[in-house]
Structure 1
């Protein structure tokens, strides 16, 4: 005998945001700066495109995936005479942390729309949380600066604090519990990376992919604005096509558009739609 449950038709309960490229650090440049500096210090060539490929993952895993890339692995073997090991990953991670902390300190400016989103969430009784591939040590550098700018998420979860980082759903689950959400169908996960969208989908949440301010474009706000109209349109077109492949329920250029999307999600929930 099967038991059927009614679809969730309550309110949007929580919005869970990624940090870099989603609500802070337009272009998600701090991690790239740190990885390029780390590999240069090791005498290894790393391109920005390569550095961005594993974006959204916990930083040890990010290093592990970089070292597994054939071109980089060949460089490592030529330099050391052996394949990279887990001990190498751990050593590189500890060398990476100060580079990342410094880059975060330099790139903690909120993306336009973050404060409006926070006000929208408060006005509608929606809890606001963030999660990230950064460690707590890294996030603790950023949070005071975010508070200074007026942004105060009610839950902050780091990849190093859950059994497995993205694309596993555990960070989003932890945010949902800390925010008091009672149904994942009432939660919205917002991210600028494919692995972050996969996290939200694995958690059974609504997902919103951020394009222009994030990893898919990889330019600062001023760099993007300095492109001529045709270049900018082509850049955004390619990035939208890339992020559409993630399976996200919605694509937006920046979180400035998110309140309208959340209102639409609320209408769909009330109509009986599920993520």
Structure 2
């Protein structure tokens, strides 16, 4: 097993090594290192859910007919052009569950089918804990002192209680051992649709654009982030309380089917 970034963020393990680890050991590793990457796994949708269930409580969605849902536990991120969260457009940096007000501790991603994806459709994972510690004062002051508001836009994905109202989003969720970042960064490519929008209360449109552009650029610096281009059989398990993640857009000539499971740990 090896670290992915020089400062120790992210772990890469072989399949044989990973399968010998207990869920409690893996959870301890990613609590410290952010995420683990394992290549050459082989799951069905059902066996993937069975594996993840050993780590805690799988989050089940009442809306089983939500776009992309073939079960109420596994979301197919299948690149359907009619969708946004599970579609082909970019997905900005965020941690899961905050717009839906769902407590998500761990996120499991498994690449079931990958074709014609060489340099697109990648997943960025950010070491938020380290990024916050090293953040320039002018950015951190905004996070600490200003008020963020978010609007869930994608019809059919967010429940009626979320859309179409702007609501206040607390910047952090203090977990004791780390601060989870609740803010959803904004889309850069807006022409194909957006699932959400976030703004700073009292800031002009140009000020909002300038701040979110600079914050996104800072998070994606090499020392804070890892960009993963998927191959069939790749498994990533990340601690949603410690990291942010994002998706690159990808074109219609490619296939990218990622199974996603969200999980909450027993209290």
TM-score normalised to the size of structure 2? 0.24
| Greater per-residue strand proportion | 2
Which one scores higher on RCO, CA 8 angstroms, separation ≥ 6? 2
Flag the structure with higher helix content.
1
